[in-house]
């Protein structure tokens, strides 16, 4: 039996569970809010064109309007100035959009401190306990932040001092970017950087280092609590927008379960 047939047989037998890691996309989806003088993307909206009526008697269809970086989405290298000579979202290597999931559980730390930042020592300690990151891996940063996905105010956690959401130190971002076995990083928050990352050096270090090193970022993930620390496979499916700096994406995880 070929490896592909083995996967298909396992799916048919119920030995593999599929978990959707994607946040529903609607006009209510929480989106990044940049302060002045920066410009924001438009939020997602949907416009009915026909609904089994005169404009289209046998069908229903819509126009959608959205920014690239809305909801669960991928950041391509050209999204950031350090990756401006890199790949757009249509050029991303498909083989790197499927890979082993490494779930980094820092939900307790984020619950205690919404400004919690993962540092290099955290990832070194993780590897000492669990082993090296596998080839072509996606680091999925579990913070429990998906619980706020239906509450824009709590999800963005804004006050007069900015946004307060967890993320990574500049040193950690640089370290991740230098690991050849890592294809990308996924987070449950609105962006791959912490809410206060504009104050770090360099500003927004995950964008700066990760995208500059031809790695990818996924945001606004859900259901990471359903995944094991190791052993799941993640599938990232963005739209191949020519010239696109990113795209809303469907993100699925396959996890070995018990046959039905």
Catalytic residue among 19, 79, 207, 208: 79
Smallest CA-to-CA distance from 175 within 225, 117, 111 is with: 117
Structure tokens of 79? 């999204």
The 10 Å CB-count burial string (b at 16+, else e) for 125-159 is ebeeeeeebeebbbbbbbbbbbebbeeeeebbbbe
Is-catalytic flag, 79?
yes
246 - beta bridge partners?
75
Show Cβ contacts of residue 36 under 8 Å, excluding neighbours closer than 6 positions: none
- Tokens 């619980």 — which residue? 147
Catalytic annotation, residues: 79
């Amino acid at each position: 039996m070929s490896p592909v047939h083995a996967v298909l047989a396992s799916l048919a037998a119920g030995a593999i569970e599929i978990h959707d890691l994607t946040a529903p996309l609607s006009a209510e989806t929480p989106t990044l809010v940049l302060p002045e003088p920066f410009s924001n993307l438009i939020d997602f909206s949907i416009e009915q064109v026909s609904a089994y009526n005169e404009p289209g008697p046998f069908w229903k269809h819509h126009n959608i309007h959205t920014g690239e970086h809305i909801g669960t989405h991928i950041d391509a290298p050209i999204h950031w100035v350090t990756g401006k000579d890199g790949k757009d979202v249509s050029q991303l290597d498909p083989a790197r959009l499927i890979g082993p999931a490494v779930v980094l559980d820092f939900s307790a730390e984020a619950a205690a401190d919404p400004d919690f930042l993962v540092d290099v020592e955290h990832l070194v300690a993780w590897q000492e306990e669990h082993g090296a990151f596998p080839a072509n891996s996606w680091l999925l940063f579990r913070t429990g932040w998906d619980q706020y996905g239906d509450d824009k105010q709590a999800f963005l956690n804004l006050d007069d001092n900015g946004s307060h959401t967890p993320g990574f130190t500049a040193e950690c971002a640089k370290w991740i970017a230098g690991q050849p076995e890592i294809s990308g990083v996924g987070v449950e928050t609105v962006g791959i950087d912490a809410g206060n990352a504009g104050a770090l050096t360099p500003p927004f270090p995950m964008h700066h280092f990760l995208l500059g090193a031809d790695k990818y970022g996924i945001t606004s993930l859900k259901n990471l609590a359903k995944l094991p620390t190791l052993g799941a496979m993640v599938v990232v499916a963005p739209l191949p927008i020519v010239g696109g700096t990113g795209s809303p994406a469907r993100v699925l995880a396959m996890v070995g379960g018990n046959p039905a």
